[in-house]
Structure 1
Amino acid sequence: MPKVPLKPVNRLLATLPKAEYQRLVPHLENVPLPLKQVLYKRGESIEYVYFPHRAIVSLIATTEEGSNVEVGIVGNDGVTGMPDLLGDNIATITALVQREDSGMRMKASLLKTEFGQGGVLQSLLLRYTQALYALTSQNAACNRLHQIDEKLARWLLLVSDTVESNELQLTQEFMAQMLSVRRPGVTEAASRLQQAGLIRYHRGRISILNRQKLEAASCSCYGIIKSQYARLLEH
């Protein structure tokens, strides 16, 4: 198993004072996060929390009929499994790896104990919870009110920010599932963005060609989400 890095890759961990991070190190494990790995399912107990490196984890709400919609994403600025820290270790959503890479994991019960000691860790995780709540709330409004081209642009920008790259590996089927729209709608929206010179899409690979214009094509939700994360987490 790869060693825990002295300098954390995950930006949330990197924000901690050295002493607080070193207190977590004995409990952290460097693990691969392969594509489509389910970290936990709705209704299951949360055994581990994960701090992604360059992986992306989709937080997915599921209806009783089996329909899925992405309500949030966790990247290298965050951590999965927040319900456990707030007093309940039963997952209300499913956490699915949508971009493979690696990350740090630790027992949820141990992080909860560290959280209870206060300090910067507690403050940081509370602010992250608020940022994640802002993201899920804005996603709900966006999915209900905005056009598919705007939603797709917003989602691509958020994913790009999370992986810190303009090169993305995303299938149309997956994008349709995450945006809770039909696949033909995503195909048409991606085609319009490509014709406008904003992206290039070919065989599951998307390149953002003009970020400034893609931001202009996005709905206002992208700017709102970005400003909330900056206000709460960039200190």
Structure 2
Amino acid sequence: MPDSTTLSRPAPLRIPCANQLLQQLSAEDAGLVRAALEPVQLDVGRVLYATGQPVRHVYFVESGLVSLVGANKGRRRMEVGMVGFEGMTSLEAVLGGGVAAHEALVQSPGSALRLSSTTLRDATRQSRSLHDMLLRFVHAFMVQGSHAAIAAGRARIDERLSRGLLMWHDRIRDAELFVTHEFLALLMGVRRQGVTVALHELEGKGLIRSMRNRVRIIDRAGLERTANGFYGVPEDEYRRLFGEDLRHHQAA
């Protein structure tokens, strides 16, 4: 289990945006990137970058949802992580890989602030505190990815679906989620028929209402119970690292 001790951080300078990472920046670190941040729209279905492409930009998400999608050599695809207002895409730019390990696919519309990878690298060379903050997010994302793997290997379909809906709800902050069966199948690595069965099961328990391309959260606490421990550890670790509660506590 992750250490529950909250890390000490310098007082942040609140950049006027909705991205929690950028809000964490000190005045000095904000000055290194502020002028280069470019607002962009995130349209559903947009591929920000594909696997194997050079990482030219980092996206600090303000609203909406971006899925990081992995594929094997047989092109079987599955979501390996998701990013919303709490984070950023293109972790390769922080780690120095230079080439995208996963496809970044917009699943829910919104907006982001885009920064060139070159500018980010230059800024991290000038600021140890900026580099350390970004590495904390890399760590948080790795915890999310490891628990996605645990869920894929050990959780029942209804547990995986509950976990995915909770994570989506955390990032969209709306009880009504516009989501297709195709995406839920991608999220869980199962066939659409399995998604349909799991949705009906959760609906039968009064936890959600399933409609065409929409799911309404009715009982979030019930979803957390149904997730059966497969949700919560990455969220706790994010709070430890950044002092921000990622969980969305209001379902209505």
Deviations 1:119-142 (A, max 9, x none): 432221111000000010110111
Compute the TM-score of the two structures, normalised by the length of structure 2. Answer: 0.88
- Residue 62 of structure 1 aligns with which residue? 71
Picking from 223, 226, 235, the partner of 1:226 is 235
Map 1:39-118 onto structure 2 (within 5 A): 39-118=48-127
Gap change, CA 1:193 and 1:85, over 3 Å in 2: same
Deviations 1:140-182 (A, max 9, x none): 1110111000000001001111122222110111101221101
Runs of 4+ in 1 over 6 A off after TM superposition: none
Picking from 154, 158, 169, the partner of 2:163 is 154
Q: 1:145 and 1:126 mapped to 2: Cα distance? A: 28
Q: 2:82 and 2:228 mapped to 1: Cα distance? A: 18
Where do 5+ consecutive residues of structure 1 fail to align?
Answer: none
Q: 2:15 and 2:131 mapped to 1: Cα distance? A: 21
Where do 5+ consecutive residues of structure 2 fail to align?
Answer: 1-13, 245-252
Picking from 176, 181, 197, the partner of 1:172 is 181
Please give the root-mean-square deviation of Cα atoms over the aligned residues, in Å.
Answer: 1.4
Q: CA deviation at 1:55?
A: 1.6
Q: 1:212 and 1:90 mapped to 2: Cα distance? A: 40
Residue 37 in 1 paired to residue 46 in 2?
yes
Q: 1:173 and 1:87 mapped to 2: Cα distance? A: 33
Q: 1:117 and 1:197 mapped to 2: Cα distance? A: 53
Compute the TM-score of the two structures, normalised by the length of structure 1. Answer: 0.94
Give the letter aligned to residue 101 of structure 2. Answer: T
Deviations 1:35-77 (A, max 9, x none): 1111111111011100111121101101111111001011111
Say how many residue pairs are matched: 231
Q: CA deviation at 1:234?
A: 1.7
- Residue 249 of structure 2 aligns with which residue? none
The answer (yes or no) to whether the contact 2:15–2:23 under 8 Å persists in 1 is no
Residue 191 in 1 paired to residue 212 in 2?
no
Q: CA deviation at 1:208?
A: 0.6
Q: Which is worse superposed, 109-118 or 196-205?
A: 109-118
- In percent, how many aligned pairs have the same letter? 35
Give the letter aligned to residue 126 of structure 1. Answer: L
Q: CA deviation at 1:6?
A: 5.5
Q: 2:182 and 2:99 mapped to 1: Cα distance? A: 29
Picking from 213, 229, 249, the partner of 1:204 is 213
Aligned to 1:157, what secondary structure does the other structure show?
A: helix
Aligned to 1:221, what secondary structure does the other structure show?
A: coil
The answer (yes or no) to whether the contact 1:33–1:102 under 8 Å persists in 2 is yes
The answer (yes or no) to whether the contact 1:68–1:178 under 8 Å persists in 2 is no
Q: 2:126 and 2:231 mapped to 1: Cα distance? A: 35
Deviations 1:94-125 (A, max 9, x none): 11111111110010111111112224322211
Picking from 217, 223, 230, the partner of 1:214 is 223
Gap change, CA 1:102 and 1:35, over 3 Å in 2: same
Residue 126 in 1 paired to residue 135 in 2?
yes
Aligned to 1:78, what secondary structure does the other structure show?
A: coil
Deviations 1:161-207 (A, max 9, x none): 11222221101111012211010110010011011110111011111
Q: 2:183 and 2:99 mapped to 1: Cα distance? A: 26
Q: 1:196 and 1:86 mapped to 2: Cα distance? A: 44
Q: Which is worse superposed, 224-233 or 36-45?
A: 224-233
